[in-house]
Amino acid sequence: MATMKVLTLIVTYNEAENIAALVPEVLRYVPTSSVLVVDDASPDGTASVVSALAQQDSRVSVICRQGERGYGSAMIAGMRHAIAAGFDAVLTLDADFSHNPADLPKLLSALDAADVTIGSRYTGGVRVLNWDVKRLLLSLGANAYVRYLSGLQCVDCTSGFRGYRASALARVDLGSIRTSGYAFLPELLFTLGAVSIDEVPICYTERRVGESKMSKRVIAEAILRPWILAARRIGRGKTVVPPRRVAPGAAATDQ
């Protein structure tokens, strides 16, 4: 993917403290990438921070959404921008440094042989920092719950640290995904269908600055939405086509 046109997409709400440091780190590890921040009118001035960075570096841009909120719709806005602008690959990571920008090259490299790459906390063992046992068990349980209902076969269905071939995103109707919170992540995989997926081991670190966006509404959606996916599976009359595990040196579906 070295010759590919790459966009790193970051969704933000009240991340001014983190984003000023994160964007330069992204560009440090993937200097050929452009960076797009989609901000939901953060009252802490996140968009202004990114705008200042954009004035210093043409690779940086920001979309500030007014009157619209939600992780899922913000991701869709960024992905649509990537497709329309002719990017070949989209990398996504959280704005709070829970995903290490140093791992971005691994996700990008893995796109040579896959349509989607996932920075997995649980492939080849558990790799999380600053979580208590309860939080870890909840995350593992959530992934098992999603896999059971949706038919997805990824180890870490809920990781937002990913790489996508834009061609894979362009093949589906992103607007059909109505999820506003983090349940967007497994639903996008479900919607993509029979793509090739590679899970890359990464270490996840709990945020040190800022507040979590995990509200009661987001949690409720994460519990209920997989049942919608299960109903869609039944409606199709068959199990959703599982992701195709890629072998080393294999080619992705689109080059």
- Establish if 249 belongs to a structural domain: no
**Residue 198, domain CATH:** 3.90.550.10
Specify which residues 241 forms β-bridges with: none
pTM of the model: 0.86
Q: How many domains does the chain have?
A: 1
- Establish if 242 belongs to a structural domain: no
* Separation CA 192–CA 179 (nearest Å): 15
Q: What is the pLDDT of residues 30-85, one digit of tens each?
A: 999 999 999 998 999 999 999 999 999 999 999 999 877 889 999 999 999 999 99
How many angstroms separate the Cα of 139 from the Cα of each of 26, 53, 60, 150, 255? 26, 34, 33, 16, 34
Three-class DSSP category at 89: strand
* Separation CA 135–CA 155 (nearest Å): 17
- Establish if 123 belongs to a structural domain: yes
Q: What angle (nearest 5°) sits at the alpha carbon of residue 128, between those of residues 122 and 132?
A: 115
- Establish if 38 belongs to a structural domain: yes
Query: Within 13 Å, how many C-alpha atoms sit on residue 95's CB side?
Result: 27
- Establish if 243 belongs to a structural domain: no
Q: What angle (nearest 5°) sits at the alpha carbon of residue 176, between those of residues 93 and 235?
A: 115
pLDDT at residue 249 greater than cutoff 60: no
Residue 211: which domain range?
Answer: 6-235
- Establish if 252 belongs to a structural domain: no
pLDDT of residue 248: 44
The amino acid at 130: N
Tokens of 82: 């990537």
- Establish if 228 belongs to a structural domain: yes
